Amino acid sequence: MRIMGLDVGEKTIGIAISDPLGWTAQGLETIRRKENISEDIDRLKKIIKEYCVDRIVVGLPKNMNGTLGPSAERSQDFARLITKETGIPTEMWDERLSTMEAERALLEGNVTRAKRKKVIDKMAAVIILQGYLDFSAKNKT
């Protein structure tokens, strides 16, 4: 079974997936959000089925002081909706600075601005999921 990582934004959803052993995260795709949220959920359901996902990690965009703002509340609402629609448990993961980290990695790789724009959310999802996987591996009993 695999774990899916999501970077949920207002316009896009970055998606990453773990390897079957849960060691590494790979970027999968970026979904352009639709006006009808059920289309977004339907795409996620297809990916969940294709990759046999049994857990979903959703990035929680906390403010730098640790408080939750409107973006964090939207992410939590989305996570609850995913669980309701799929029956798969979701966990929230602090994603502070994940987009900045993704941007830095892409800049260091000399990725053009146009290409960065296309993959930044997917890269942020990889960073979110990899952080979760690393934490889980360190804290297994």
Q: What digits encode the pLDDT tens for the residues 71-84?
A: 899 999 999 999 99
Q: What are phi and psi of 16, to 5 degrees?
A: -130, 160
Q: What's the CA gap between 34 and 42, in Å, rounded?
A: 11
Q: What's the CA gap between 43 and 45, in Å, rounded?
A: 5
| pLDDT over 70, % of the chain | 91
Provide the residue ranges of all domains of the chain, joining segments of one domain with +: 2-138
Tell me, what's the pLDDT at 97?
64
Q: What digits encode the pLDDT tens for the residues 95-124?
A: 876 667 777 776 777 777 777 667 778 888
Average pLDDT value for residue range 22-51: 94
Q: What's the CATH code, domain 2-138? A: 3.30.420.140
Tell me, what's the pLDDT at 66?
79
Is pLDDT of 15 > 90? yes
